Amino acid sequence: MGQYETKDIRNVAFVGHGASGKTSLVEGILFKAGAAKRLGSVDDGTSISDFDPEEKERKTTIDSSILHCSWQDREINIIDTPGYPDFVNGSIGALSAVETAIIVIAATSGIQVNTQKMWDIASDAGLARMVVITKMDGENIDFPALLDSIQNAFGEECIPLMLPVGHGADFKGVVDILNLPDEVPGEVIGDVSQNREKLVEAIVSVCDEQLEKYLDGQEINVETLQGCLSTAVASGCIVPVLCCENKGSLGVEEIVDVIAKSTPSPEKGLARMCGSIAGEGEEREIEVSKSAPFSAQVFKSITDPFVGKMSFFRVYSGELKGHPEVYNVRTEKNEKIGHMFKTFGKEQQEIDGAIPGDIVTISKVDDVSVSDTLCDPHEKVKFKDIKFPNPMASLAIEPKSRGAEQKISETLNRLVVEDSTFKVSRDVQTHELVVTGMSNLHLDVILSRLKSRYDIEVESRQPKIPHKETITTKANSQYKHKKQTGGKGQYGEVYLRIEPLERGGGFEFESKIVGGAIPSQYIPAVEKGLRETIAKGILSNNPIVDVRVELYDGSFHNVDSSEAAFKIAASKAFSLAFNDAKPVLLEPVVNIEVTIPSEFMGDITGNLSSRRGRVQGMDSFGDLQVLKASIPMDEVKNYETELKSMTGGRGSYTMELSHYDIVPSHLTQTIIAQAKKEAETVD
């Protein structure tokens, strides 16, 4: 274990939109700090962070990557995260494990959809934040305008700590306005004295003693200001804004300096709360101390075909030494910790212990999942589960080779363990194996890994929409099932009343038989016949819902009646009543939230309306608009592709199932015809 204490640790996650330069910045930091022998490149496939074959091929970060370096006696744990919303799983896990979020914005593209999302998650979590503007050597950069847009979107607490010296091809580096050099370069962009005054005012406002001195006109030394700055950053009162370019690493050293000097240690950062495992009593703050009982939370998991399962957790309290047993709150079991590692990209370095603030990797402990709380078996506590968004892009898949059904389920479940935004289900209604992810790109990567890691190829298609059938009015019917063949005959007669229930009412059955018109032993057979019919459906081979059936009369034969006869009679009687009760099809309706730049508002609203969508409300933040609507699921099967093409890739959406509603009559016949055609194909 390294010679450092918890107070020396800095845990930071680099987050932001895709292609904003996060990975290149991290490579620059590792190189400056001497943790890497050479400057890695995303484009060349030589970056330490993007080591997965999929990442190298696509030249983009897909999974979060854990790295570390030492700088000015600080042990800095870095998590480089994916930038595209498709792979948000890695970013959310990373933000749960750190004290500081570093929001990276490319000077060439400004604030984008995922920049705002990451800011919101970090802000809501109470993390310290820093903004780093990369690619200052790009073309057509307006630094003051970019700073304005950051302050408008994220607040006035975003204050520059560094000002750029030139930009574009003339970018020469940065000026630290807190520690001003004796001579300020003439090409500096922005008013140095005005920005410094604003910064100092913001810094002293968090330290009462210094505020009094400042208001009295006294000079406050830089060391004191630096101490107050750390407090202001930890509390979120100041969000330092820095800038750099990655190719020549200009400004990168200053960024590592700020991480080392001004971001909070685990002792000074966000207070972590935990509850009792019984869920009783109030939450309490975890004591960040080696002498406290051990507690940690898993934030990432991967399954390597060769090494097996690897779990990454953040230690919050206590010390791990040797090969202890820890308690997993979810499984209610003790797990023996074997080898522990510190991770650097794809490399693992074995360690013999861990202290609060450390990020640790363990292998071959199978029943450990993301969000799991690991703790001292004698002092059980529980951290809140990490919240991940609901995935909404689905594909129905089947293996290309016969006999791989069992293998595919096991393998997909391994990938589910790695990615909390990936789900696998077997649709009981359509009998399809459905995989669901954040987007088509996300699913493309998952299915690509299925092939490269486990040699399973699949065919995919759009899943069937799970329609349902119901009735809209009351109806009565009667059916007598009578058959006389050689030997014993069949006889059963039933009288039914059916009526619609409220949406979500399911199926209700009641027998009003009196005086033995049907013997009691045959009543369950009537209900069974009804249930089998409603499960299969009548119009379109989809289940029937929200209907109440009353059995009010019937007749039987002492010799020829049987359970089978009453089942058939009930089924036929129900079909007759159903067709008289003005049957309709129901379709799933989802609530959708579409996030877009303001300029696309009219196009998107019109497009949703043309898809039978109903706009329910709007919100805005910065230059982005959030449109909330209710829309049939059938209309947004391929919405991701269309939204991307309409907004040049700048739009994103989330959706969740809301309710079932009646399909318009002009669409019903098409669905029924399609169902009949499919049934004939199966037959």
Query: 287: pLDDT confidence band, cut at 50, 70 and 90?
Result: very high
CA distances (Å), origin 211, targets 56, 192, 196, 226 = 51, 21, 15, 14
Which pLDDT value is given to residue 494? Answer: 97
User: How confident is the model over 56-70, as a mean pLDDT?
Assistant: 89
Query: 622: pLDDT confidence band, cut at 50, 70 and 90?
Result: low
Which domains does the chain carry? Answer: 6-262 (3.40.50.300), 288-375 (2.40.30.10), 393-461 (3.30.70.870), 469-582 (3.30.230.10), 585-666 (3.30.70.240)
Which pLDDT value is given to residue 578? Answer: 98
Which pLDDT value is given to residue 281? Answer: 66
Nearest to 22 by CA among 107, 84, 82, 93: 82
Q: Can you tell me the distance from the alpha carbon of 110 to that of 104, in angstroms, rounded to the nearest whole number?
A: 10
Asked if pLDDT for residue 623 goes beyond 80, the answer is no
Asked if pLDDT for residue 269 goes beyond 50, the answer is yes
Task: Provide the residue type at 174 as one letter.
Answer: V
Which pLDDT value is given to residue 280? Answer: 64
SS (H, E, C) 570-622: HHHHHHHHHHHCCCEEEEEEEEEEEEEEHHHHHHHHHHHHHCCCEEEEEEEEC
Q: Which pair of tokens denotes residue 42?
A: 């995303």
Query: 1: pLDDT confidence band, cut at 50, 70 and 90?
Result: very low
DSSP 300-369: EEEEETTTEEEEEEEEEES-EESS-EEEETTTTEEEE---EEEEETTEEEEESEE-TT-EEEEES-TT--
Q: How many CB atoms lie within 10 A of CB 494?
A: 29
Which pLDDT value is given to residue 138? Answer: 93
Q: Can you tell me the distance from the alpha carbon of 275 to that of 587, in angstroms, rounded to the nearest whole number?
A: 41
User: How confident is the model over 248-271, as a mean pLDDT?
Assistant: 95
**Averaged confidence pLDDT in the chain:** 91
* Burial (0-12, 13-18, 19+ Cβ within 10 Å), 637: middle
Query: 683: pLDDT confidence band, cut at 50, 70 and 90?
Result: low
Which residues, at least 6 apart from 55, have a Cβ–Cβ distance to it below 8 Å? 61, 62, 63
Q: What is the CA radius of gyration of the chain?
A: 32
Q: 195-210: per-residue pLDDT in tens?
A: 999 999 999 999 888 8
Query: What are the residues facing 68 on neighbouring strands?
Result: 77
Asked if pLDDT for residue 278 goes beyond 70, the answer is no
The residue ranking higher by pLDDT, 407 or 72, is: 72
Q: Which pair of tokens denotes residue 331?
A: 């499984």
> What DSSP element (H or E) covers 627?
strand 624-632
Which pLDDT value is given to residue 14? Answer: 98
Q: Can you tell me the distance from the alpha carbon of 577 to that of 574, in angstroms, rounded to the nearest whole number?
A: 5
Q: Where are the beta strands (DSSP E) in 3-42?
A: 9-16
Give the three-state DSSP class for 403. coil
Q: 345-397: per-residue pLDDT in tens?
A: 989 999 999 999 999 999 888 889 999 999 999 999 999 999 998 887 889 99
Q: Which pair of tokens denotes residue 503?
A: 């949406």
Nearest to 314 by CA among 266, 352, 267: 266
Asked if pLDDT for residue 621 goes beyond 80, the answer is no
Q: How many CB atoms lie within 10 A of CB 424?
A: 17
User: How confident is the model over 600-622, as a mean pLDDT?
Assistant: 91
Q: 291-327: per-residue pLDDT in tens?
A: 999 999 999 999 877 778 899 999 999 999 988 899 9
User: How confident is the model over 617-627, as a mean pLDDT?
Assistant: 83
pTM here is 0.83
Q: 201-244: per-residue pLDDT in tens?
A: 999 999 888 888 888 888 888 899 999 999 999 999 999 999 99
User: How confident is the model over 592-606, as a mean pLDDT?
Assistant: 92
Query: 489: pLDDT confidence band, cut at 50, 70 and 90?
Result: confident
- The separation between CA 144 and the C-alpha centre of its own chain, rounded to angstroms, equals 34
Q: 491-533: per-residue pLDDT in tens?
A: 999 999 999 999 989 999 999 998 889 999 999 999 999 999 9
% of the chain surpassing 90 pLDDT = 68
Full strand arrangement of the beta sheet holding 325-328: 333-336, 325-328, 373-375, 295-304, 308-317, 359-363, 340-344, 347-351
